[in-house]
A and B are shown apart, each in its own frame.
Chain A
Amino acid sequence: MKYTELTKQFRQLFELPLTPVAVKFNTDDEPNIPHPMRYCEIVRKAAAFGTSYTCSADDMSCASAELALGFTEPAYGDVYPRIKTADTRTMTITPLDICEFEPDVVVVVGTASKLMRVAATLSKVKGDMVNAKFKGEFAVCGECTTIPVMENKVNLSLLCAGARMFSDYRNDEIVFGFPMEAFVELTESLKEESITKALCGCLMDDLPARLVDAILALGFTKGTDHFIGRFGDEIVRLYIPKDESGKSSSVTLHVPVKFKDADASKASEDGASCLFEEPMNYRLRDNWMDAILLIELHEPIRRAAMKPEKFNALVNNGIEVMLDRVAKFKRKTIQ
Chain B
Amino acid sequence: MQEEFQLNLDIYKNLNRGIESTYINLNPIQRGGVLTAEARKAALEFADGYSVCDFCFESRVDLVQNPPVRNLTADIAEFLNMDDVRFTAGCRHAKWAAMHMVTEPGETLVLDSLAHYTSYLAAEANQLKVVEVPHSGYPEFTIDPEGYAEKFEEVERNTGSLPALALLTHVDYRYGNVADAASVGKICKEYGVPFLLNTAYSSGIMPIDGKKLGVDFLCASGHKSWAASAPMGILATTFEWNQQVFDKSTIRGDWSGRGFTKKEVALFGCSPVFGVPVMSLMASFPSVVERVKHWDEHVENARYLASQLERIEGFHQMGVKPTEHTLVAFESLPLFEAAAKTKKRGYFLYHELKKRKIIGIQPGMSKSFKLNTFGLSRVQIEYVANAFIEIARKYDIPVEDEA
Partner-contacting stretch, out of A18-26, A92-100, A114-122, A220-228: A220-228
Residue B269 at the A interface, CB < 8 A?
Answer: no
Q: Number of residue pairs across A and B with beta carbons under 8 Å?
A: 55
Are B138's CB and A252's CB within 8 A?
Answer: yes
Q: How far is the CA of A256 from the CA of B314 in the complex (A)?
A: 10
Residue A66 at the B interface, CB < 8 A?
Answer: no
Provide the A30-64 mask, 1 if CB < 8 A to any CB of B, else 0: 00000000000000000000000000000000000
Smallest beta-carbon distance B338→chain A, Å: 12
Q: How far is the CA of A80 from the CA of B8 in the complex (A)?
A: 51
Are A230's CB and B333's CB within 8 A?
Answer: yes
**With contacts A223-B331, A228-B331 known, is A258 near B138, CB below 8 A?**
no
Residue B403 at the A interface, CB < 8 A?
Answer: yes
Partner of B333, one of A224, A235, A285: A235
Smallest beta-carbon distance A202→chain B, Å: 6
Are B337's CB and A223's CB within 8 A?
Answer: no
Q: How far is the CA of A256 from the CA of B367 in the complex (A)?
A: 16
Residue A237 at the B interface, CB < 8 A?
Answer: yes
Are B117's CB and A224's CB within 8 A?
Answer: no
Residue A239 at the B interface, CB < 8 A?
Answer: yes
Smallest beta-carbon distance A190→chain B, Å: 20
Smallest beta-carbon distance A61→chain B, Å: 35
Q: Residue on A with the closest CB to B322?
A: A286
Chain B hits for A221, CB < 8 A: 333, 336, 367
Residue A151 at the B interface, CB < 8 A?
Answer: no
Are A285's CB and B310's CB within 8 A?
Answer: no
Give residues 284-334 of B contacting A (CB, 8 Å): 307, 310, 314, 316, 320-322, 331, 333
Residue A242 at the B interface, CB < 8 A?
Answer: yes
Are A224's CB and B368's CB within 8 A?
Answer: yes
Residue A17 at the B interface, CB < 8 A?
Answer: no
Q: How far is the CA of A260 from the CA of B311 in the complex (A)?
A: 10
**With contacts A221-B336, A223-B367, A230-B337 known, is A239 near B316, CB below 8 A?**
no
Smallest beta-carbon distance A62→chain B, Å: 37
Are A226's CB and B321's CB within 8 A?
Answer: no
Are A256's CB and B138's CB within 8 A?
Answer: no
Smallest beta-carbon distance B47→chain A, Å: 30
Are A288's CB and B321's CB within 8 A?
Answer: yes
Give residues 214-257 of A contacting B (CB, 8 Å): 221, 223-226, 228-230, 235, 237, 239, 241-242, 244, 252, 254, 256
Q: Residue on B with the closest CB to A225?
A: B138
Smallest beta-carbon distance A98→chain B, Å: 15
Are A252's CB and B134's CB within 8 A?
Answer: no
Smallest beta-carbon distance B132→chain A, Å: 9
Residue A290 at the B interface, CB < 8 A?
Answer: yes
**With contacts A239-B137, A244-B134 known, is A228 near B310, CB below 8 A?**
no
Q: Residue on A with the closest CB to B331?
A: A228
Residue B192 at the A interface, CB < 8 A?
Answer: no
Smallest beta-carbon distance B135→chain A, Å: 9
Smallest beta-carbon distance B340→chain A, Å: 10
Residue B390 at the A interface, CB < 8 A?
Answer: no
Are B314's CB and A235's CB within 8 A?
Answer: yes
Q: How far is the CA of A324 from the CA of B141 in the complex (A)?
A: 27
**With contacts A235-B314, A244-B134 known, is A254 near B368, CB below 8 A?**
no
Chain A hits for B333, CB < 8 A: 221, 228-230, 235
Chain A hits for B150, CB < 8 A: 244
Chain B hits for A258, CB < 8 A: 310
Are A237's CB and B134's CB within 8 A?
Answer: no
Chain A hits for B140, CB < 8 A: 285
Interface centre among A230, A235, A258 (most CB of B within 10 A): A235
Chain A hits for B117, CB < 8 A: 202
Q: How far is the CA of A260 from the CA of B333 in the complex (A)?
A: 21
Chain A hits for B174, CB < 8 A: 224-225
Are A256's CB and B322's CB within 8 A?
Answer: no
Smallest beta-carbon distance A100→chain B, Å: 19
Partner of A285, one of B137, B321, B336: B321
Q: How far is the CA of A117 from the CA of B322 in the complex (A)?
A: 46
Chain A hits for B307, CB < 8 A: 287
Residue B139 at the A interface, CB < 8 A?
Answer: yes
Smallest beta-carbon distance B184→chain A, Å: 18
Q: How far is the CA of A256 from the CA of B336 in the complex (A)?
A: 18
Partner of A254, one of B138, B320, B403: B138
Are A286's CB and B138's CB within 8 A?
Answer: no
Are A256's CB and B316's CB within 8 A?
Answer: yes
Smallest beta-carbon distance A25→chain B, Å: 33
Q: Residue on B with the closest CB to A204?
A: B174
Smallest beta-carbon distance A195→chain B, Å: 18
Q: Residue on B with the closest CB to A236?
A: B333
Chain B hits for A230, CB < 8 A: 333, 337
Interface centre among B134, B139, B307, B368 (most CB of A within 10 A): B139
Provide the B126-156 mask, 1 if CB < 8 A to any CB of A, else 0: 0000000010011111000000001000000
Give residues 266-324 of A contacting B (CB, 8 Å): 285-288, 290
Are A228's CB and B322's CB within 8 A?
Answer: no
Q: How far is the CA of A79 from the CA of B361 in the complex (A)?
A: 64
Chain A hits for B139, CB < 8 A: 237, 254, 256, 285, 290
Interface centre among A202, A229, A256 (most CB of B within 10 A): A256
Q: Residue on B with the closest CB to A284?
A: B321
Smallest beta-carbon distance A131→chain B, Å: 37
Smallest beta-carbon distance A191→chain B, Å: 18
Q: Residue on B with the closest CB to A240?
A: B137
Are A241's CB and B321's CB within 8 A?
Answer: no
Chain A hits for B367, CB < 8 A: 221, 223, 228
Q: How far is the CA of A235 from the CA of B316 in the complex (A)?
A: 10
Give residues 87-143 of B contacting A (CB, 8 Å): 117, 134, 137-141
Are A286's CB and B368's CB within 8 A?
Answer: no
Smallest beta-carbon distance A257→chain B, Å: 11
Q: How far is the CA of A230 from the CA of B313 in the complex (A)?
A: 12
Give residues 359-403 of B contacting A (CB, 8 Å): 364, 367-368, 403
A-B CB proximity, top 3 nearest: A239-B138, A286-B321, A285-B321
Additional pairs, 9, CB under 8 Å, beyond known A224-B174, A285-B321 = A199-B364, A225-B137, A237-B138, A239-B137, A252-B137, A254-B139, A261-B403, A288-B321, A290-B139
**19 A-B residue pairings within 8 Å (CB atoms):** A221-B367, A224-B368, A225-B138, A225-B174, A226-B138, A229-B333, A230-B337, A237-B331, A241-B137, A242-B137, A244-B134, A244-B150, A254-B138, A260-B403, A261-B403, A285-B140, A286-B321, A288-B316, A288-B321
Give me the interface of A with B, judged by CB distance under 8 Å: 199, 202, 221, 223-226, 228-230, 235, 237, 239, 241-242, 244, 252, 254, 256, 258, 260-261, 285-288, 290
